[in-house]
Chains A and B, each alone.
Chain A
Amino acid sequence: MAENTDKMVIDGVELVGIWKEFMPSRILYEDVTTEFLNEVKKLPGGETIAKCYQCGTCTGGCTLPEFVDKFNPRGFINLVRRGHYDLLVSDYKELVWKCVSCNRCTHRCPKGVNTQEVVRAIAKFLEDRKVFGKLTNDEAFDEVFMDEVINDGRIDEVKIVKDFYAKTGRLKEMMSGDQLSLGFKMFTSGRIKLFGGKIKDWKKVSQRLKEELQ
C-alpha cells in the first residue's frame, strides 16, 4: 500500500491515517472514451445503455453469478461506458455471451435500462469485432434460426437442431446414441412432425423481410 501522508485535523482531533486508501477513486476521467458506448448504442437492443447509473440492481438479482464466476451485467456496462475495451476483451469476452435472457435485470432496473438487451448488444459488439476468432454458438444459432424463420415462416425443431449442429461442426454428435434414441422416441410417438412451410403467401412476406435486412 502506498504511503499516505495526508493529514486531516478536525476540532483538534487527527483523523488521518489511510482514510483515503480504502476508497480508491472508481473513475479515472482521463481514461474515459465514449467511442465504444456510441457503438453499442447503435446496435439492436443497445439503445438504453447510457441511462445506467451503476446501481448494481441488475447484478444483484441476476440468475448467473451463482453459477458463473464474475458474471456481472453492471460491470459489463461499466467497462463499455468507460471505454475499457482491452479489459472487456481479455477478462470478460467469454462471460458476456452466457446471459440466459431471463430478464430479471431489465425487470428490476430502476432507470429503465433494457439490461438484457444491452448485454446482448455488448456480446454482439464483440462478435462484430471478431474477438472470438470463430463463429460463436450464439451467432450460429441466431443465423440458422433467422434463416429458417425468414425462408419458411416457422421453426421446425428438428431442422433447427440439425442445422445448428451442422453449422457448429457437430453433426456426428447429433447422430450418436442418446440424441438419436430420443429423436426416435419422439418421432414414433408423433411428437416430431415435419413442417412443410405452408403459410399462405409467405413468399411475399419473406421477400419483404429480406429487403428489410439489406
Chain B
Amino acid sequence: MKLGYFPGCSLKGMARAYDESTKIVAEGFGIELMEVDDFNCCGALEAKGSNEKLSYMLPARVMDSAKGRFHVDAVVTPCNGCYHSLLRANAAMNEDSAAKSDVISFLKDVGYGTYEGDIDVRHFLELFYNEVGPEKVKNAVKKSLKGLKVASYYGCLYERPKTITKTGYKSKRDDSENPYFQDELLAATGAEVVKFEAAASCCGGAHALQDESLAATLSAAVLSAAKKAGADILALPCPLCGAALDIKQPEIVKAHGNDAKIPVVYFTQLIGLAMGKSAKDLKLTDPISNPMEILKSKGLV
C-alpha cells in the first residue's frame, strides 16, 4: 500500500512536535510516508460554512496531488480537522454526482486531474493501530513507560460523524462512541491508561478565538476530568485539540484554577519515547504545559 502523507497547516507551524514525532514513529515501524509537500489548507470548518464547492475543492486538490505525483492508494493525516475535511470531500465525490463533476473539472484546470473520489483517507492513529498495532509496539519497547498514568483523549472529528467516517460500514474504523485504538497503543508502551470519561468530549477548540470564554470552559472540563481520573499527562491525536488544551492552557488555568493544569503531549511523542527516542528529537520541550517535569520525575527523560 502506497501512502501519501498530508500533515496540514498546524503540523508545519505550532504543532511541529506532532509532525516530527509522527515521522519518527512511522519510520521506526516501517511505514513509508510520501509527503505531499505542495499541500494546501484543507479549508477546515471555515470553508464548509462559507462555500460548499470550495469546501470540496480544497481537500480534493491535496488528494489529487498525492495521487497524481505518487500514485498512492491512500492519504494519511494526523490531524482530526484535515481528516474530517478530506473524508467529507471524498463522501461528496461518491454520493453527489454534481459535486463530483465540479471538482473534477476544477482539478483538470489546476492540477493533475486524476482524483475521482477513489482513494482512501486515513487518520494516522487508525492506520498505525491497524498496520502496526499494540503487539508490535509492545515488542519494540526499549524504555517502558511504566509508572506513567496517561489520559487518552481523542477529541471530536476522529471518530465522528459516522456519515463520513463510515464507521460500521468500513472495516478498521475505531469505535465511534467509545474509541479505544489510542488507549491500547499507549498501554502497549507500559504506561497505565486511566479510565477517563471525557475521552471523546469536545475541547471547544473550534471556537478558541471566536468565543474564548466558552472554549476555555469546555477545555477546562476535559483537562480537569483527566486530572481527576488520576492522570499525570494527557495524550492526544489532534493538533487543534493540542492548540486548545496546551497552548491555551495558561489562560484556562487562570480562569478555572489549577484543576485544569496537566501536561499535554501527542500520542506519537509517548510512543517515540518508549521506542527509546530522545526527548529532543520528539520535541518534548515544545508543549507550553511542560511535560518534561513529570517525565523527568518518573525517570523517563
A residues with CB within 8 A of B: 44-45, 63, 67-68, 98, 100-104, 106-107, 112, 114, 116-117, 120, 124, 137-138, 140-142, 145-146, 149, 153-157, 161, 164, 178, 182, 185-186, 189-193, 195, 199-202, 204-205, 208-209, 212-213
For B, the interface residue count at a CB cutoff of 8 angstroms equals 58
CA distance A59 to B57 in the complex (A): 31
Question: B206 interface residue, CB < 8 Å from A?
Answer: yes
B211: A residues at CB distance < 8 A = 98, 100, 137
In the complex, the answer to whether B50 meets A100 with C-beta atoms within 8 Å is no
In the complex, the answer to whether B54 meets A154 with C-beta atoms within 8 Å is no
CA distance A142 to B43 in the complex (A): 10
B38: A residues at CB distance < 8 A = 199-200
Given known A44-B52, A63-B201, contact A153–B41 (CB-CB < 8 A): yes
Given known A68-B214, A142-B46, contact A103–B161 (CB-CB < 8 A): yes
The chain B residue sitting closest to A46, CB to CB, is: B52
B243: A residues at CB distance < 8 A = 157
The chain B residue sitting closest to A148, CB to CB, is: B41
Told that A63-B201, A191-B286, A209-B58 touch, could you supply 12 new A-B pairs with CB distance under 8 A?
A45-B52, A100-B218, A116-B161, A117-B48, A138-B210, A141-B46, A178-B251, A191-B13, A193-B12, A193-B13, A205-B111, A209-B54
In the complex, the answer to whether B14 meets A191 with C-beta atoms within 8 Å is yes
Count CB-based A-B contacts (< 8 Å). 154
In the complex, the answer to whether B41 meets A137 with C-beta atoms within 8 Å is no
CA distance A201 to B53 in the complex (A): 21
Query: Which listed residue (A44, A153, A185) contacts B55, Cβ 8 A?
Result: A44
B48: A residues at CB distance < 8 A = 44-45, 117, 120
In the complex, the answer to whether A145 meets B46 with C-beta atoms within 8 Å is yes
In the complex, the answer to whether A100 meets B57 with C-beta atoms within 8 Å is no
In the complex, the answer to whether B157 meets A103 with C-beta atoms within 8 Å is yes
In the complex, the answer to whether A182 meets B247 with C-beta atoms within 8 Å is yes
